[in-house]
A and B are shown apart, each in its own frame.
Chain A
Amino acid sequence: MPHPKERRLLLSHADEPGYTGSYEDYTARGGYKTLEAAIRREPAEIKKEVLDANIRGRGGALFPAGRKWGFLDPNSDKPVYLICNADESEPGTFKDRQLIHKDPHQLIEGMMISAYATGTKLAFIYIRGEMFGGARILEEAIEKARANNLVGENILGSGYSCDLIVHRGAGSYICGEETGLIESLEGKRPYPRLKPPFFPAAKGLYMCPTIVNNVETLCQVKHAVELGGKEYAKIGVPNCTGTRIWSLSGHVNNPGYFEVEGGAYTFGDLIYDMGGGLREGRSLLGFIPGGSSTKVIKYDQRYRGKLQDGTEVDWGVEDIPLDCDGCNYFGSSSGSAAVMVMDDTTDVVMALANLNAFYAHESCGQCTPCREGSLWLKKITHRMIAGEAREEDADLLKSIADQVEGRTICAHGEAVAWPVQGFILRFRDEFIDYARRQARERAAREQETTAAVA
């Protein structure tokens, strides 16, 4: 059952008892009515609605979808492609999976509306390789939609045709980077492309104009068009219109997903109320707010000062609003809205070692700093947890991360660097203590051995 503080738009039927997400269930609740209405309007009008709605990209970069669509050259004579990025694989993030599994037709409707608005004749859902269940659900749903003339030729008699293809990735995190995704869809290694010279909206899939949007973003489009862009924008706050689905995991009693109106509540509400608080006798150490690549926020951080709109605030970490930009004031980002909570029993070195292992494994290997830096970082933290930590490792980790950030083709460089920079910035003393403790233990062991020999 949804938590009382939730406002469910995308997941409004998802957890309804008896709702299976089938075509029949979806249409019984007004499904595809928005597409039916939209397809009778001019594509430019739909585009305007989405622009007015100011839907910020839910994949994590938070770039407004309407503006992204605006980069399409109206005078281009090349085909336009729309790609749904369903390669959800940022650790901690599990919102798109819910949308795909529990209400696939909502995504299809959102996609067909978006396809119509952007003039797409062929759309793809690029789904993560491991989500074979989701791929099967989507394929069945698309077949159903096609049988009902909602996908394919001459949709609902409008004269507009667009096919929709589900493409399964082979299970690589970097395929979620939009140009890596495009390369992968073209059948190549998912090496992210150089940008500039051109961005996907100009030259993307097969060097044609391409729009890549996240699953949640495309589902939001359906609701923005249904409500009207301006009306939709009234939900939430200006920097975060509509709702956001927060994936909550880690040391809380009630982890899960929570769809919350933009900016309506705070991280305190999310952790202590919706998330049921920490376990008995534990206190908050910190949390990673937007997927594992974002920088950790520590329990004792405060922000006193002005927000972008000029408002004076004095926030502790519990006061950070569940919107798009609140975390920025704490040196982090709300990214994909995946909150990982850590209580005071957390071994921070172990936590960072885990993250480093992930980002080293997922580096595509194209650019030098990310390729070599990520594995080096992993090797250091693994040596540390294996009992060979050195006091200077904390600063070395930070220095390596600094040599990666901002120096690579795609944002994976940041994804490698930010967790390290965040952990060292907030927990440097803990890292040094960790090394000292190990040194003491080693010395004690040596003494024991010497004593035994003597």
Chain B
Amino acid sequence: MAETNGSDTVTVYIDDEPVVVPKGITMIEAAEHVGKEIPHYCYHQKLSVVGNCRMCLVELGWPMKDRATGEPILEEDGSPKIGWGGKPGIACNQPVAEGIRMRTDSDLVRDCRHGVMEFLLVNHPLDCPICDQAGECKLQEYATEYGRGYSRFIEEKNPKPKRTVLGPRVILDDERCILCSRCVRFMQEIPGDDVLGFIDHGSYSTLTCYPGRELDSNYSLNTVDICPVGALTSRDFRFQMRVWFLKPVDSICTESSVGANTQVWAREGKIYRITPRQNDAVNDTWMTDSGRDLYKQVEAEDRLTTPFVRGIEATPVQALRETERLLRPSERVAVVASTHSSVEEQYFLRRIADRTGAQRYAVRHWGEEDGLLLSADRTPNTRGALLTGLLDELPKPDLRELGAAIDRGEIDTVLCIHEDPLACGLTVEQVRKVAWVRMATHASPADEHAFIALPSLTVFERSGTFINQQFRLQKFRAVVPGPAGLLTDLQQLASLNSLLEDGPVASVQPDHAWKELSAEPGPFAGLRFRTLPSEGVALDPGEHARHPFPERQSLKYEADSFLASLPAATTAS
């Protein structure tokens, strides 16, 4: 018997292999530690355990103890005698304990899995050819891996409601439902909206919404993600593309400063869906419904695809050179920074601002917080603007100060990133008074008054990093190429900077920025884009933690306890 080291771990035996695992987890998680999958449907690591699918039945054994003395009973060879339960047990509900044994591949366990798979399929419509879940369906996977391979069922299947519209984004096929209750528990336990439930009983149990309600939570699509079968499907993604054609790329949700980790699924330059990517420090396995819609900006009709200089089409390089020509001689430059820009872009914009002696402005985009994954700051990278030194205070509610400065004649050239000046409190006259250079992904009414328009790329077309509300540096990668011929924001800003510095213009990737960022002492020291782990890195916010940020609470963030968790020196005001 292996020695138990320390008090936080126990040794369990999985198929006779000793495994040291942390206390407090369950046997299904212990198996995961050694890369063994115990098949399961209802168990989900972020939801309560109900143990109803019975797919994770295994044989469990405990070291026997003498009832009278409490001493362990030993076999003749000195090994502990194991009491195997008379019945199989579910691994998802069995906490690890010292010396506990689990058989995951015995005849009994195989028979249990055969049985459960057979039962799950008797009333299942077997309509994989027209089912969106095909290819990522646990029923398919486990039927292949653990099923008998044939059916003994010759009776009629139960008819149940088809194509039930549960809400604005989710549709339900009750015949495919295996009643695992993941969706019910998710709605109860995460958004706290107890809107789903079962009616009727036995094999006729049917998932439905509470009478008079619909599944309209901004988290409803998570039920589609966790549905192990094709019962719940997304109305947006339904029938659009076979999942095996899609390639997922790691990204970050730009909806708010939560920075939910995502995967963006694309095929041949077209994005089809966004799903959450697990990050236990940020979003667990969830994301908002509204965040999943953001990919639609890529193909929006008002996308800017051509650079303009004084209303005339130009190449990106021409437009940049024109911008340089505007900025270089001016001593009255302003930059309007964006908290939607990546850390790398913000870094180069800071360099440009430094060089041109520009006044710096930024606009905040705040909204209501939902306490989960939608925070008050509706931009992904306010912290980045602070930590790169681009801004030294939080963005203002609008650009009226810039307007006043323009009116006073203190500004003659504005380099504006992403923002729409007319929506931020400026008037057309104010925009027209200066040489306005606007770098943006989408058209705005202000563009017709702009001097130069520099089309930029969406988050799905570029790579970089954001710093979320927890000062966690997280990276995102380009999923699809941008419109033909366009340069990335990073490339444009870095090139502009090079032009202003009379340096060489070369291809710039995020790590070019990181080479310089990480060389300075501070929160970025020693970091590289390429080696940044997918779950991100918590940065030391230093003095920047003291800004009056609007976020109070989300799933993994609570403002006061976050501040309290920082070293005292950085929080002392």
Contacts and interface: CB of A to CB of B under 8 A. Distances in A.
A396 B114 CA distance: 14
Given A360-B202, A375-B202, A366 B52 contact: yes
Given A365-B198, A371-B205, A407 B52 contact: no
B228 to A, nearest CB: 12
A375 B158 contact: yes
B201 A364 contact: yes
Given A196-B93, A403-B119, A371 B202 contact: yes
B314 interface: no
B319 to A, nearest CB: 62
A368 interface: yes
Interface string B78-107: 000000001110000101000000000000
A368 B120 contact: yes
A406 B86 contact: yes
Contacts of A361: 202
Interface string A235-279: 000000000000000000000000000000000000000000000
**Which of B52, B123, B155, B200: most chain A CB closer than 10 A?**
B52
A376 B204 contact: no
Interface in A336-390: 360-369, 371-376, 379-380, 383
Interface in A191-208: 191, 194, 196-197
Contact of B204 (A189, A365, A409): A365
Contacts of A407: 54, 57, 87-88, 112, 115-116
A172 interface: yes
Contacts of B178: 368
B201 A172 contact: yes
A9 B283 CA distance: 64
B49 A194 contact: yes
Contacts of B198: 189, 365
Contacts of A373: 119
Nearest to B116: A368
Contacts of A360: 202-203
A296 to B, nearest CB: 23
B50 interface: yes
Interface string A75-90: 0000000000000000
B201 to A, nearest CB: 5
A408 interface: yes
Nearest to B121: A372
Nearest to B152: A396
A206 B16 CA distance: 40
A371 B155 contact: no
A383 B202 contact: no
A380 B122 CA distance: 13
Given A368-B120, A379-B156, A197 B202 contact: no
Interface residues of B, number: 38
Contacts of A189: 197-198
Given A365-B203, A406-B88, A376 B57 contact: no
Given A197-B93, A376-B119, A403-B119, A365 B158 contact: no
Nearest to B181: A366
Contacts of B152: 396, 399
A443 B204 CA distance: 36
B205 A365 contact: yes
B54 A379 contact: no
B54 A369 contact: yes
A379 B115 CA distance: 17
A84 B51 CA distance: 27
Contacts of B86: 406
A374 to B, nearest CB: 7
Interface in B187-216: 197-198, 200-205
A268 B53 CA distance: 44
Given A194-B51, A396-B152, A369 B122 contact: no
A376 B54 contact: no
A48 B348 CA distance: 82
B366 interface: no
Interface residues of A, number: 33
A387 B203 CA distance: 24
B153 interface: yes
B111 to A, nearest CB: 8
B202 A367 contact: no
B201 A372 contact: no
Interface in B40-67: 49-55, 57
A368 B202 contact: no
B52 A372 contact: no
Tell me what chain A mostly uses at the interface: helix, strand, loop, or mixed.
helix
Interface string A166-209: 00000010000000000000000101001011000000000000
Contacts of A364: 201-202
Interface string B113-148: 011101110110000000000000000000000000
Contacts of B411: none
A404 B118 CA distance: 11
**Which of A189, A194, A361, A366: most chain B CB closer than 10 A?**
A366
A194 B114 CA distance: 23
A396 B155 CA distance: 13
A408 B93 CA distance: 13
B454 interface: no
A371 B51 contact: no
B179 A365 contact: yes
Nearest to B49: A194
Contact of A376 (B88, B114, B153): B153
A363 B201 contact: yes
A63 B306 CA distance: 81
A336 B52 CA distance: 27
**Which of B54, B198, B200: most chain A CB closer than 10 A?**
B54
Contact of B54 (A172, A363, A368, A383): A368
Contact of A372 (B88, B156, B200, B203): B203
**Which of B116, B119, B158, B178: most chain A CB closer than 10 A?**
B119
B202 A374 contact: yes
B203 A409 contact: no
Given A376-B155, A407-B87, A369 B203 contact: no
A404 B112 CA distance: 9
A265 B350 CA distance: 97
Contacts of A363: 201-203
Contacts of B120: 368, 372
Contacts of B201: 172, 362-365
A176 to B, nearest CB: 14
A189 B205 CA distance: 12
A364 B204 CA distance: 10
Contacts of A408: 54
Contact of A380 (B87, B123, B155, B203): B155
Contacts of A197: 93, 95
A172 B123 CA distance: 23
A191 B111 CA distance: 25
A72 to B, nearest CB: 21
Nearest to B119: A372
Contact of A194 (B93, B118, B156, B200): B93
Contacts of B51: 194, 367, 409
Contacts of B93: 194, 196-197
A404 B115 CA distance: 8
A220 B247 CA distance: 68
A362 B204 CA distance: 11
A362 B203 CA distance: 10
**Which of B54, B114, B202: most chain A CB closer than 10 A?**
B202
16 contacts: A189-B197, A365-B201, A365-B203, A366-B179, A368-B52, A368-B178, A369-B116, A371-B119, A371-B202, A372-B119, A373-B119, A374-B203, A403-B111, A403-B118, A407-B57, A407-B87
Q: Lowest 7 CB-CB distances: which A-B pairs, in order? A: A403-B115, A372-B119, A365-B205, A379-B155, A375-B203, A406-B87, A363-B202
Given A365-B198, A375-B123, 14 more contacts: A189-B198, A194-B50, A197-B95, A362-B202, A368-B120, A369-B119, A374-B203, A379-B156, A403-B115, A406-B86, A407-B87, A407-B88, A407-B115, A409-B52
